A and B are shown apart, each in its own frame.
Chain A
Amino acid sequence: MNINYNETIPNNVNLSDDRRLLRALEQWQPAYINWWKELGPDQTQNFEVYLRTAISVDAKGWAHFGHVRMPEYRWGIFLSPAEKDRRIGFGHHKGESTWTEVPGEYRTELRRLIVTQGDTEPASVEQQRHLSKTCPSLYDLRNLFQVNVEEGRHLWAMVYLLQAYFGRDGREEADEMLSRHAGDPNKPRILEAFNEQTDDWLSFFMFTYFQDRDGKFQLAALSESAFEPLSRTCRFMLTEEAHHMFVGETGIMRIIQRTCELMREYDTDKISLMGGIDLNIIQKWINFHYSICLDLFGSERSTNAANYYSMGLKGRYQENKINDDHLLTDSYVSLPKIEEDEIRNEETPALTAINMKLREDYAKDSQRGLDRFNKIIESYCIDTKLTLPHPAFNRNIGVFKDVKASPSGKIIDATTWNKQRDQWLPSSADYELVKSLMVQVIEPGKMAGWIAPPKRGIHGLPIDYEYVLFH
């Protein structure tokens, strides 16, 4: 094959000199493009989208804008610049030099971490593939595609690590990433939240708010890794993840704003009749997405997480800002447990509670956005508050998985749960209703009736710019 990969794949990893990588990419790239055509954004092959492409890692190069036909998008491979003389910050290798190669003894664990992270990236593209048919505006359609191509790039980033550092097993894993599919009953994605459907735009904004925020925390924890290439890759991915969360947060804010406008205008909270999305529906979507995202952090008590930490593979969020010994061999934290149908606490070695720590940081971060949402509602003098449900609510992993709990964290029996469930989580009627509002709007500058326009356009362009050209 005679492709100049340096041209088609912008990179800062010396791609054209790396024979092993070239060989792997020759095989993998066509499969990836096929996957994109088959399971990427549905029926969009001829769209030209105003996208940001990273062509280098410096300030100028990472945000290069222009119209691109999506399958021709130049998915690049970038690592953040190396920090000079970086030392391992935690675990029992603390203080040693970071690793530029995979240590044999941790090969399996590292690979598992990368595969688990990598698997989520194409999953979200698959989950969101039908959304273009119901976009609320060209601006939003463009954002959807921006998120999608970047998730594609994130897959690339993880696949690069597998191909470059894990030999034949890594190549096999890279292939498997394209053979598992979101929601496929026979070969599903590894994590459950990445098998759910994202078929409406309210879900999409929730997804980019909550799931992508999980991505942020996972990547942040991995960027602490002693394995230098993983750390540097994740650091670069974090810059893109921030944009995905921006899409989610501003999307939800715009919906809330529109909802509040309608509530004031018609002086009712049943604004779904007026083509808006009720605050209680938004609350149910929050309940659903937040609770399934908490599952992504794994069990509160986890041997694997403890091992990853001790081995120096995956740290805590902003490890170096935490003021402790970064070994955790002798410290204890309090973790929830269920006893006699009550949530109680229990002293647990801090090492085995690493997942919980990350999850708590995630919860705090999630709450910040909710505070901003509530400010908007408040500014319309509406007496409703959106809240995050209690961690015991609607869980499938960890200590709470065997109990039923209300959003406020009260343990209840199954009968009560069944009775109340539809008040707390999206019911099929709610999905129907939200779906009925999802009508495609593609006239430049126009917005669907359930969402307010954004404050500003992309890259200094006006809101009514033709962000997507249809051919």
Chain B
Amino acid sequence: MLSYLVNKRALILMINFFTSPDQYKHWQINISGNVATLLLNVDENENPTLGYTLKLNSYDLGVDIELNDAVQRLRFEHPEVGAVIITSAKDRVFSAGANIQMLGQLSHVEKVNFCKYTNETRISIEDASLNSGQTYLCAINGPASGGGYELALATEHIILVDDGATAIALPEVPSLAVLPGTGGLTRVIDKRHVRRDRADFFCTTSEGVRGRRALDWNLVDELATRSNLVSQTHSRAKSFAQKNNRRISANGIKLEPINRKIEKNLISYDLIEILINRDLRTATFKIKGPDKTSNLSIKYIYSIGCKFWPLAFARELDDAILHLRFNEPEIGTWVLTSEGNHDAMEAIDKIMLKNYKNWFIHEIILNLKRTFKRLDISSRSLIALIEPNSCFTGTLAELALAADTSYMLDKAIEENTEKKTTFCLTGINFGYLSMSNGLSRISSRFLGNKGHIEKIKLIGGKQLEAKEAEELGLVTFAPDDIDWDDEIRIALEARASFSPDALSAMEANLRFGGPETIESKIFSRLSAWQNWLFQRPNANTSLESYGTGKQPTFDRNRV
């Protein structure tokens, strides 16, 4: 599944994000009643060509891709599950976190991508606990350090074996000269409310803390003896599952493999086509909206399962984002276009909102939400083009709101009067697809202007023409058909000429206005500092000398 090599020559084969439990090499899903257990059992030598062994349940991207898949499948395929235990199948080993040899071999781009992805996976775990009624808990049966403990932090309840030896630790600063970058610092402070001086001690003690102190400092929620750990975790999981009380009236929905074809400059899915222009370094997404369906009903939606348009779209878009992030790092601008039937899109949004409490619909909307968030935190310029035949309504309109710049064609009516260019918001744009800052994209767009948001809400459901959309501030520019081609060309060329680093940094600052959340802090503060560290000489000497026994010599200047 993970068909890539990382080595000093940066020979990178393609990374594939699709997997399924029958292909897992590192995880096992056990389900008993309403409790699922995710057992981490990393295959050390999964791929001997990688040049590192995944000792002590340490992980690489391949391990995390499976975890992400497992979390996703539990939501859709096992709605009966109300609690999920993460633990290790290895005796007296929980996890040593991200594999250091692996990190040492990764280029900066690869490191950043790796961290981003693992962070997204952990946030999707929290999303499942908080919004899907699948509460995650963690049984730490052996040393959990770095990313190992950070994985536990992503769950809502941590049970630690108290055997006089097992410690939890965030040893990155003392041992590796980097940060616990998978949310560790943020969650210790903001989620678990560990006092900052204790957190400071904890994060500078490579050995970590054990038993009683871990509990007293709220680094874990519960202690268990070795012999009781499993049973104690299970009864805890059962009570979580009961509390969740999900109303499940049907079986799960199987997530079938997605169809994807990759050619040199063309990636095609059922609903999305991506055309790559290597000179301009752009990828143009052509997204096919839903077809008109006469009898749209919940029963019908169940019967088509993962082929239901919003779910199929979310899964394909998710895969496309990841594919481009990892496999096409030089393609710096993603151009978003769409086509399809506005009425059909509107009808789908309507039935989804009407049945929001239905578990399946609920999961689909959460999935859409997470996928749009992936878009937000991708380090690519996003430009939406709203043209005749476009379908920027509701769910698809969210794409335009996610874009850094949007262009809407004004009055292209000369040749074909049927081809109207419109833009339309539906209920789904108002709060269902919130960003990592906790706000909808509309609210983030009009910070400090509540009145305006109310006004826009009132015209929800109306197909707006370009001038109107521009006036309301929903699109950036509305050039007419005489200017259109040139405007777009210049915009894309300008984008391609800027420093990619500066663009990523600028966009990341402008996209997330408003308040901070744990999630936004992880992606802005924590990741930004981590990425800064990765670029500094001290982290590099440290990561490179790790495992060789040679001691790093630091540049002692405080920056």
Contact = CB atoms under 8 A, between A and B. Distances in A.
Interface of A: 92, 108, 111-112, 176, 179-180, 185-188, 190, 303, 305-307, 309-311, 328-329, 349, 351-352, 354
Given A112-B207, A186-B163, A306 B227 contact: no
A390 to B, nearest CB: 22
B50 to A, nearest CB: 15
Q: Binding site of B, secondary structure by majority: helix, strand, loop or mixed?
A: loop
B224 to A, nearest CB: 9
B32 interface: no
A190 B164 CA distance: 9
Contacts of B165: 180, 187-188, 190
Interface stretch (B293-301, B384-392, B512-520, B543-551): B543-551
Given A111-B207, A112-B207, A186-B163, A352 B548 contact: yes
B549 A352 contact: yes
B226 A349 contact: no
Interface string B153-185: 000000000011100000000100000000000
Query: 9 closest Cβ contacts across the A-B interface?
Result: A306-B549, A351-B549, A186-B225, A187-B164, A180-B164, A303-B547, A186-B226, A310-B549, A108-B207
Contacts of B550: 92, 306, 310, 329, 351
Interface in B103-145: none
Contacts of A190: 165
B405 interface: no
A109 to B, nearest CB: 8
B405 to A, nearest CB: 48
Contact of A305 (B163, B225, B549): B549
A108 B206 contact: yes
Contacts of A307: 549, 551
Contacts of B225: 186-187
A188 B205 CA distance: 23
Contact of B227 (A111, A176, A185, A305): A185
Interface residues of B, number: 16
B146 to A, nearest CB: 14
Q: Binding site of A, secondary structure by majority: helix, strand, loop or mixed?
A: helix
A34 B344 CA distance: 79
Contact of B205 (A108, A329, A351): A108
A272 B92 CA distance: 40
Contacts of A354: 549
B548 A185 contact: no
A349 B165 CA distance: 30
Given A108-B207, A111-B207, A112-B207, A309 B163 contact: no
Contacts of A92: 550-551
Contacts of B174: 108
Given A108-B205, A108-B207, A180-B164, A352 B547 contact: yes
Given A349-B549, A351-B548, 15 more contacts: A108-B205, A108-B206, A111-B207, A179-B164, A180-B165, A187-B164, A187-B225, A190-B165, A303-B548, A303-B549, A307-B551, A310-B551, A328-B549, A349-B548, A352-B549
Contacts of A329: 550
Contacts of A310: 549-551
A187 B166 CA distance: 10
Nearest to B225: A186
